[in-house]
């Protein structure tokens, strides 16, 4: 069993693709934040129906590559999203629309609040993804890497509630009635939970195939979950089937806590060296 990650990030075959997909969906959510859709007589923001894809990608990344890489992917997404909002606002400002061009005026109106959406995403998605990655990481260790479908539903339920509450309170503050915002939060959260339930089999399958293809199954043991602190490299990554069998036998003998203590101390000692 390897305590420290053996291969640099550039050797992962699909990590760059996942990061690009994550950022793409992130930007799509920003541009559809104020686009309302009618569902059973209720008006709901279109972005609320798209953003569960971000959390599905986050679940797969945290399960395969670990908490540290998931946070780096989140940081890249936030930076790209902020650059998108700042640049599009700047270029629309320095290039005013012709007065008789109604199409351009509608375009300007569409991106009128893009900086507000950027600010909202910085807070809400960061809070939601932090909670999601933390729960996936901790529950993976606690559940011995099993029952991914349970872990993803639990983490999604809590983290999506955090995201919806933070996002829509900021996004619609002063634009809609308070109880109308609460109704939007509840309705979108219910949809996201339904989406999570139906998408979990596909998410689990992708995570399983990705771990096999990447030969990566990271357990975040003895790492710091502080997002403002430099991430540790103290990870448990299985390289051979025998390594995982040894760990499962250890767990089955009801000495899980002693094993975690031993691994944590060993990892810290190797990092210090």
Residue 90 pLDDT exceeds 70:
yes
Q: What is the pLDDT of residue 234?
A: 43
CATH T-level fold of 8-216: Arp2/3 complex 21 kDa subunit ARPC3 (1.10.1760)
In terms of average pLDDT, the best of 10-14, 71-75, 124-128 is: 71-75
Residue 21 binned pLDDT confidence (cut-offs 50, 70, 90): very high
Residue 272 binned pLDDT confidence (cut-offs 50, 70, 90): low
> For the segment 225-259, what is each residue's pLDDT rounded down to a tens digit?
776 665 544 444 444 444 454 454 544 444 345 44
Do strands 234-237 and 2-4 pair parallel, antiparallel, or not at all (unpaired)?
A: antiparallel
Which sequence spans correspond to the domains of the chain? 8-216
Whole-structure pTM value = 0.72
Give me the chain's average pLDDT, please.
76
Q: What is the pLDDT of residue 227?
A: 67
Q: What is the pLDDT of residue 22?
A: 92
Question: Chain centroid to CA 107: how far?
Answer: 30
């Amino acid at each position: 069993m390897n305590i420290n990650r053996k291969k640099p990030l550039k050797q992962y075959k699909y990590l760059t693709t996942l990061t690009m997909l994550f950022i793409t969906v992130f930007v799509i959510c920003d541009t559809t934040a104020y686009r309302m859709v009618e569902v059973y007589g209720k008006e709901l923001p279109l972005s609320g129906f798209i953003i569960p894809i971000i959390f599905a990608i986050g679940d797969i990344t945290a399960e395969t590559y670990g908490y540290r890489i998931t946070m780096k992917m989140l940081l890249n997404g936030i930076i790209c999203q902020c650059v998108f909002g700042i640049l599009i606002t700047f270029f629309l400002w320095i290039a005013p629309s012709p007065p008789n061009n109604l199409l351009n005026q509608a375009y300007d109106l569409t991106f009128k609040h893009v900086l507000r959406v950027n600010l909202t995403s910085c807070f809400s998605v960061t809070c939601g993804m932090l909670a999601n990655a933390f729960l996936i990481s901790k529950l993976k260790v606690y559940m011995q890497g099993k029952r991914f479908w349970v872990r993803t539903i639990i983490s999604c339920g809590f983290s999506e509630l955090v995201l919806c509450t933070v996002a829509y309170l900021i996004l619609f503050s002063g634009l809609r009635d308070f109880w109308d915002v609460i109704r939007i939060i509840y309705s979108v959260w219910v949809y996201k939970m339904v989406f999570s339930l139906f998408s979990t089999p596909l998410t689990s399958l992708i995570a399983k195939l990705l771990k096999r293809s990447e030969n990566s199954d990271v357990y975040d043991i003895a790492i710091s979950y502080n997002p403002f602190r430099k991430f540790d490299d103290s990870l448990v990554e299985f390289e051979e089937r025998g390594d995982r069998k040894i760990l499962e036998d250890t767990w089955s003998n009801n000495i899980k806590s002693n094993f975690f203590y031993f691994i944590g101390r060993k990892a810290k000692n190797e990092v210090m060296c």
